[in-house]
Amino acid sequence: MSSISKTSSAINKNAQIAVIGAGPSGLLTATILRQRGYENIILFEKKSSIGGYTKSVEMDGHVFDYSIKLIPACTAYEPSIYTPLQAMLDKYGLSKQLLPFPNTTFFNTQTRKLLPGPMFLKDYPSKQVIEELLVGWNILQKIRNYAGTNGVVEAGIALPGETFAQWVKRNQLPVFGVLCELVLDSYLFGPASKQPAGFVLKCITFYMIGFIKRILLAMGADVTAIPSVDANIKTIIQDINPTASYVHKEGYLDFFQKLVEYEGLDVRLTQGVQTFRTLKDLDGTQIELVTDNGDIHKFDALVIACSPQDALKFLETEQPIVPLYQQIRAGSISQVWSFRALSWPEVLPIGHLVLVYPVCAALATPTTVQQCHAVMREYEDSNICFAFCYAKSDSLPLEAEQTMRESMQTLGITVGEVLEAPRFQWPSVVPEDGVENWYSQVETLQGQNNIFYIGEVFSSSGVISVLDYLLQKIPSYFP
């Protein structure tokens, strides 16, 4: 039985710190802690490889990423790669290995034409489209200052319990709203309209700018001539890298491997944490961990850096975080197919991520599960393609594959051999109702018994969001 104390003892630079999970959150936490002078950190990872969702495989002489693929190159507030990430890429010698992420193209299945922006834009007057996209950019720029999805609510940008669909209606931003949905659903977060507004807005901060810039360019909008546009935004729009994102030539996993190597992180693979208990005596708090191989380790502080669903497997019921973690629901099932294309239509550019409109989101018609909504063939000299879709959790693999093959056929792509079809239940989401103040409640628990909770459920998704969040939070948890 754990003995739960209410207070935490001071964590000094010599403290022994355990991090559970060697995904992006755990690895970046350990890196920031080391940069802050904390020397004794051990990461426990239940799998045989680091990186969490990252999965890079070599085929046809190229490295392909099944999940994490892109590094957004510009943000709402910087025209180039997020500066702290750029510093890491430089340090690990990876900057020259970045390739521009292929453009994203919208494909209209009815007209069989590619469009610079989604088709729905033509239903709105150009003036409204331009104005709304710029208002949206202004909002995204403000969100940067607030850590995590909780920050978006605390900043008054989204209301507690408000869904994204409600947010769009309240702010009268139908164009911006539907574009956000289209982008988010295509990146497998969807259906966005039903997710909490704070979560959606935080997620898209790093992904939307390239889209907005491209649409504004295609519309011939001269934003410099619009007096209401923030001067900073005008500069960013002019300077921004239009390719918007990069992929790492050697695969994203290589980035995390370099990080472990260069930062000298102590990662214990295949040593998942099974249980832990808090011991308290006159000398302060100690945390005792038991790992999968039965080893017992003692630490002064603990950082839990895995999903709430995984954490519930080792947390004991009396831990105060448990009722809060039980309210988290796992995201929709996202499936990524890799297959060999026997035919590839000329109209679809190679090296572009093709979003299929109108299959994917619209506020009025939530995404249909099991339909593919994005596909890409990355290289001329390899016919390996990746298709992204949602799947029903109870769908049989063959039934799901048949749907994917049919979806591809509507684009004119004939699917040959299926190479792999991993499923991700992702991302974890705080439900939109009945959990008011969820994030503030977690915040009050941070540091109790020297235990800290991090992970993408707080920071929102994507490596840059995780990094941005940790850079703001870790210094306050570990002064």
Chain residues in the site for ligand FAD (CB under 6 A): 20-26, 44-47, 52-53, 67-70, 188, 272-273, 305-307, 310, 314, 334, 336, 424, 426, 455-456, 461-464, 466
Closest CA to 140 of 126, 157, 154, 156: 157
Show Cβ contacts of residue 154 under 8 Å, excluding neighbours closer than 6 positions: 146, 439, 440
**Which lies closer to ligand FAD via its Cβ, residue 178 or residue 466?**
466
Measured from the CB of residue 351, what is the shortest distance to ligand FAD in angstroms? 16
What is the identity of the amino acid at 348? L
Calpha distance 347→339 (Å, rounded): 19
**HSE, side-chain direction, 13 A CA sphere, residue 123:** 6
**Which lies closer to ligand FAD via its Cβ, residue 130 or residue 333?**
333
- β-strand pairing of 266-268 with 40-44: parallel
**Which lies closer to ligand FAD via its Cβ, residue 120 or residue 211?**
211
Number of Cβ within 10 Å of residue 339's Cβ equals: 24
Strands (E), 27-171: 40-44, 56-59, 62-65, 71-72, 98-100, 104-108, 113-115
Calpha distance 139→133 (Å, rounded): 10
- β-strand pairing of 372-377 with 384-391: antiparallel
Measured from the CB of residue 307, what is the shortest distance to ligand FAD in angstroms? 5
Measured from the CB of residue 227, what is the shortest distance to ligand FAD in angstroms? 36
**Which lies closer to ligand FAD via its Cβ, residue 24 or residue 191?**
24
**Which lies closer to ligand FAD via its Cβ, residue 26 or residue 447?**
26
Measured from the CB of residue 326, what is the shortest distance to ligand FAD in angstroms? 16
**Which lies closer to ligand FAD via its Cβ, residue 188 or residue 430?**
188
Calpha distance 434→166 (Å, rounded): 16
Measured from the CB of residue 315, what is the shortest distance to ligand FAD in angstroms? 10
**Which lies closer to ligand FAD via its Cβ, residue 129 or residue 457?**
457
Measured from the CB of residue 219, what is the shortest distance to ligand FAD in angstroms? 27
**Which lies closer to ligand FAD via its Cβ, residue 26 or residue 198?**
26
Calpha distance 383→374 (Å, rounded): 16
Partners of residue 391 on adjacent β-strands: 333
Measured from the CB of residue 39, what is the shortest distance to ligand FAD in angstroms? 21
**Which lies closer to ligand FAD via its Cβ, residue 166 or residue 275?**
275
- β-strand pairing of 301-304 with 451-453: parallel
Measured from the CB of residue 328, what is the shortest distance to ligand FAD in angstroms? 13
List phi, psi (to 5°) of 323: -60, -30
Distinct helix (H) and strand (E) counts, the chain? 16, 21
Q: What is the dihedral of CA 118, 122, 128, 133, to 10 degrees?
A: 10
Measured from the CB of residue 255, what is the shortest distance to ligand FAD in angstroms? 10
**Which lies closer to ligand FAD via its Cβ, residue 14 or residue 393?**
393
Show Cβ contacts of residue 410 under 8 Å, excluding neighbours closer than 6 positions: 109
Measured from the CB of residue 13, what is the shortest distance to ligand FAD in angstroms? 24
Measured from the CB of residue 54, what is the shortest distance to ligand FAD in angstroms? 7
**Which lies closer to ligand FAD via its Cβ, residue 223 or residue 290?**
290
* Token pair in block for residue 330: 């796992």
Calpha distance 302→460 (Å, rounded): 21
**HSE, side-chain direction, 13 A CA sphere, residue 54:** 28
* Token pair in block for residue 466: 């995780």
**Which lies closer to ligand FAD via its Cβ, residue 175 or residue 373?**
373
Calpha distance 321→471 (Å, rounded): 23
Show Cβ contacts of residue 20 under 8 Å, excluding neighbours closer than 6 positions: 26, 43, 44, 273, 302, 303, 304, 305, 306, 311, 314
Measured from the CB of residue 454, what is the shortest distance to ligand FAD in angstroms? 7
First to last CA, the chain: 30
Calpha distance 291→70 (Å, rounded): 33
